[in-house]
Amino acid sequence: MRRLAAALAGLLVVGGVAVALSLEPARADSHDLEPGSIERGARLYQAGCATCHGDSGEGVDGWPPIVNAGEASADFQLRTGRMPYAQERGQQAQRKPPAYGEQEIRDLVAFVASLGDGPAIPEVTLDPALLSPGQRLFASNCAPCHGASGNGGALGGGAIAWPLTDAPPLIVAEAMITGPGQMPIFDWPQEDLNATVTYVEYLRSAPSPGGFSIGGIGPVPEGLVAWFVGMAALAAVVYLVGREWDRTGDGG
């Protein structure tokens, strides 16, 4: 009886963590443009981005062009606070709290997307059934830079492969399809993308993050069961919040 109670409590905790995490990335996909969004984005862009990226994204003074960066890259760069860039030229863009609010980010993303022809914000589905292929994909493609448990690692030239602890599912997918900084692009089939993102989310919400070894899914069956429950709740919440957003047009 005690054990059952303890197990149930564990389920609630992990489920709660998963649900709390899910509120962060939960947003409807931004494919339907809101009226006025590009125009509002253009004004923000002129004030905060054009000095480096040029009036039409062509890049000025040796700063990089972003004509074909697309929605996905703009969304990633703004949500992780990397843009606006605030370092000495040549340094890795720093991750910091976002400089813009939710609506401003959506407007800036709409404007950057309107400049050219880059990748759209990807769709991702978290699917616990893909956990083990996700682990394999992660181990051979991501762990070499980000570490086996996603805790990050140093690359040459002072750059770091950022820890994945603060990267919600959409940010992971956006990083994969846009390859920020020194990270390569992983333009994979949808199922492989889903699998990898699911595994990263597992790493992030595992009971003791980073505390299990490679291949360590086996020894923690209770944690895994709890995680599955959390994932189901998470998927439901992501869906519901996405719906809500569609209706109100405001992610809050």
Q: Is 52 in the site for ligand HEC (CB under 6 A)?
A: yes
* Choice from 119, 133, 181, 251 touching ligand HEC (CB under 6 A): 181
Total chain residues near ligand HEC (CB under 6 A): 46
The one-letter amino acid at 200: V
CA distances from 242 to 20, 28, 112 (A): 15, 4, 23
Contact 172, 79 (CB under 8 A): no
* Choice from 15, 25, 54, 180 touching ligand HEC (CB under 6 A): 180
How far apart are alpha carbons 137 and 34 in whole angstroms? Answer: 37
Q: Which of 233, 213, 208 is nearest to 223 (CA)?
A: 208
* Choice from 34, 55, 58, 166 touching ligand HEC (CB under 6 A): 166
1-30 residues in contact with ligand HEC (CB under 6 A) are: none
Instruction: Tell me which long-range contacts 238-247 makes (C-beta under 8 A, separation of at least 24).
Output: 238/22, 238/25, 238/26, 238/126, 241/22, 241/23, 241/26, 241/27, 242/26, 242/27, 242/28, 242/29, 243/28, 245/26, 245/27, 245/28, 246/28
Q: Is 202 in the site for ligand HEC (CB under 6 A)?
A: no
* Choice from 49, 113, 148, 217 touching ligand HEC (CB under 6 A): 49
* Choice from 26, 130, 148, 162 touching ligand HEC (CB under 6 A): 162
Q: Is 193 in the site for ligand HEC (CB under 6 A)?
A: no
What minimum distance in Å lies between the beta carbon of 110 and ligand HEC?
11
69-98 residues in contact with ligand HEC (CB under 6 A) are: 69, 73-74, 77, 80, 83-85, 92-93, 95
Omega into 163 within 30° of 0, i.e. cis?
no
Q: Is 204 in the site for ligand HEC (CB under 6 A)?
A: no
The pair of three-digit structure tokens given for residue 229, joined into one six-digit string: 């429950």
94-133 residues in contact with ligand HEC (CB under 6 A) are: 95, 108, 112
Omega into 207 within 30° of 0, i.e. cis?
no
Q: Which residues bind ligand HEC (CB under 6 A)?
A: 48-49, 51-53, 63-64, 66, 69, 73-74, 77, 80, 83-85, 92-93, 95, 108, 112, 141-142, 144-146, 155, 159, 161-162, 164, 166-167, 171-172, 175-176, 178, 180-184, 186, 196, 200
